[in-house]
Chain A
Amino acid sequence: QVLLVQSGPEVTKPGASVKVSCKASGYSFIDYYIHWIRETPGQGLEWLGWIHPNTGATNYPQKFRGRVTMTASTSINTAFMELDSLKSDDTALYYCARSGTKDPFDFWGQGTLVTVSS
């Protein structure tokens, strides 16, 4: 079955970076987009962007452009999301999710809690 398994919780300081992983199994990793979505108390659910593992192409919304970097390793079927210059309001539950082209998010990871605190 399709599974997306994310890395564990992170606690980090303002100004630092965090890198979260998402290991895929049960399907052809190179054939689907991986999206990153976060949920914060203040902003609710926000889309951080997508990566297509086959080409490495990425798409980030304006709000996160320049601060987020998404990568993928096809040798280990794992996607990564790195967020830089962290602030306290980046404290959130971060999800990875899969989609086809113009398709919904049909499978989600379990979420990774990132806490930014001095």
Chain B
Amino acid sequence: QSVLTQPPSVSGAPGQRVTLSCTGSRSNIGAGYVVNWYQRLPGSAPKLLIYDYSKRPSGVPDRFSGSRSGASASLDIAGLQVEDEAEYFCQSYDTSLGRFYIFGTGTKVTVL
């Protein structure tokens, strides 16, 4: 099952800043394995949003930023927009229990 914990939901008004957390452990994020973030719009395939903690693929707006602290990572959305309403999930790596690729539980962002 998912081994990275995310809050189920976060909401904010347009223009606000929201922060999504992704909490792991010493065998994954805490061990220095990178964190990637994905956005899944309703009815669409997931899209890579942030990789290697804080890098943005071409075309991703700079209002999305990522960071890591210890065994946790965060995704910041600055200047929330209506089109940001989506599910966001984090992903990392874990060599314990043979899982290798692991995912977060997902956070639904609602724009009020």
Contacts and interface: CB of A to CB of B under 8 A. Distances in A.
Q: Indicate whether A and B interact.
A: yes
Interface of A: 4, 35, 37, 42-47, 59, 61-63, 95, 97, 103-111
A97 B52 CA distance: 17
Residue from A62, A105, A106, A107 whose CB has the most chain B CB atoms within 10 Å: A105
A61 B99 contact: yes
Interface residues of B, number: 24
Residue from A63, A103, A104 whose CB has the most chain B CB atoms within 10 Å: A104
Contact of B48 (A4, A44, A59, A104): A104
B46 to A, nearest CB: 5
Interface string B40-64: 0000111110011000010000000
A44 B89 CA distance: 10
B2 interface: yes
B106 interface: yes
Contact of B1 (A4, A43, A109): A43
A105 B97 CA distance: 21
B89 A111 contact: no
B46 A108 contact: yes
B28 interface: no
28 contacts: A37-B103, A42-B1, A43-B1, A44-B2, A44-B103, A44-B105, A45-B2, A45-B106, A47-B101, A47-B102, A59-B100, A62-B97, A63-B98, A63-B99, A95-B46, A97-B46, A103-B51, A104-B36, A104-B51, A104-B52, A104-B91, A105-B36, A105-B46, A105-B91, A106-B57, A108-B45, A108-B46, A110-B45
